[in-house]
Amino acid sequence: MADPLASARAQATQITNQLAADQQHLDALSQQYDAAQQQVQQLGQQVTQIRGTIAQDRTEVTQDQGNLRAAAVSAYMSGTTDSSLSTLFASGGAEASVAAEYRSVSSGKVAGAIDSLNVAQTHLATQQSQLESAQAQAQTAVDQAGAARRAAEATMADQQATLGRVKGQIASLVAQQQAAAQAAAHAAFLARVNAAPAPTKATGSSSVGATLVNLPVASGAAGAVAAAESQLGVPYRWGGETPGVGFDCSGLTQWAWRQAGVSLPRTAAAQYGAIAHIPLSDLQPGDLVFWGYGGIDHVGMYVGGGSVVHAPSTGDVVRIQGIWGNGLVGAGRP
């Protein structure tokens, strides 16, 4: 039968690898999109320049046409017109004939300029048309690149969502495995405690299963347990001893027992050294349970049913958990 956790991890790896490849593809599409945008902007600038040139040329030729006509009138008024024009005026010709000759002279003098303008405008109009066509094609490329990029982003968003769900499955499966392992360890611990011989005398030993004296249940134990359980869900905070804000392990046990009128030292090691040690088989609610490797570094309060309430570690919260055997040193009663 396939291992669900292994399958989920394999799926997560596959999605992660695919996301990496898709990210490279998206980067390439983004570069294409940016390049197409830049080309559209450049072509747009060129079209604007061409249009400006055409407008400027039209203005200049219009001005030149007006100047030439003014020059023709001036020539007529000063008597320097050609003989045919002088003849018309000298013979007392009609105003219509004079006007016709004036238009002929003026038009003749600007004809070359107008022809040049028409040629230039035709050339510029052709350039403008070509540029506008190229600009339209570039805009099409921009639209296509943008659509491709949006499609790639949507695909990656779907993959990210799938990866998130798979990671959630992995976390759930890991938590289930850890809970199963913890339950097995707790069951083994309880079996070992139940199999231990009854205590006969106090020896001062701190090891599990040592022969230690049974003591009366501590006065105020119920109040201490109630106080500790009132802080369930409060974040772990190293050095913390403030209700509703944060506790470390010994800060929680010290504060909880203080609510019952019992004073305890601040650290787990000091608490272990300050109270009477009892056999694990005699645990009662309110008793303290200690762990450590080469020294006492963690403490919890027994709440019954083989469980303790404690502030585990950074990133965790005050919670109830079954007693575990790893590093277990012993128990004590305030």
Which residue in 25, 320, 5, 296 sits closest to 155, CA to CA?
25
Three-state secondary-structure class, residue 208:
coil
- Beta-carbon count within 10 A of 8 CB: 20
Give the CA dihedral 303, 304, 305, 306, nearest 10 degrees.
Answer: 70
Structure tokens at 257: 């027992």
d(CA 58, CA 121): 9
d(CA 241, CA 332): 21
Return all residues near 69 (Cβ < 8 A) that are at least 6 apart: 106, 110
Report the DSSP pairing between strands 328-333 and 319-322: unpaired
H-type alpha helices, 79-94 = 83-90
32 contacts 40 by C-beta, under 8 angstroms? no
Structure tokens at 135: 């600009």
Concerning whether 298 is annotated as a catalytic residue, the answer is yes
Structure tokens at 75: 């020539």
Range 39-61 burial, b when 16+ CB lie within 10 A, else e: bbeebeebbeebeeebeeeeeeb
Cα–Cα distances in angstroms (integers) from residue 322 to residues 180, 181, 183, 303, 311, in the given order: 11, 11, 7, 10, 13
Which residue bears the tokens 């105003």? 95
Range 227-254 burial, b when 16+ CB lie within 10 A, else e: bbeebeebebeeebbebeebbbbbbbbb
Concerning whether 249 is annotated as a catalytic residue, the answer is yes
Concerning whether 123 is annotated as a catalytic residue, the answer is no
Cα–Cα distances in angstroms (integers) from residue 45 to residues 13, 53, 254, in the given order: 48, 12, 76
Q: Which helix (H) or strand (E) holds 109?
A: helix 95-195
Give the residue numbers annotated as catalytic, written as ranges.
249, 298, 310
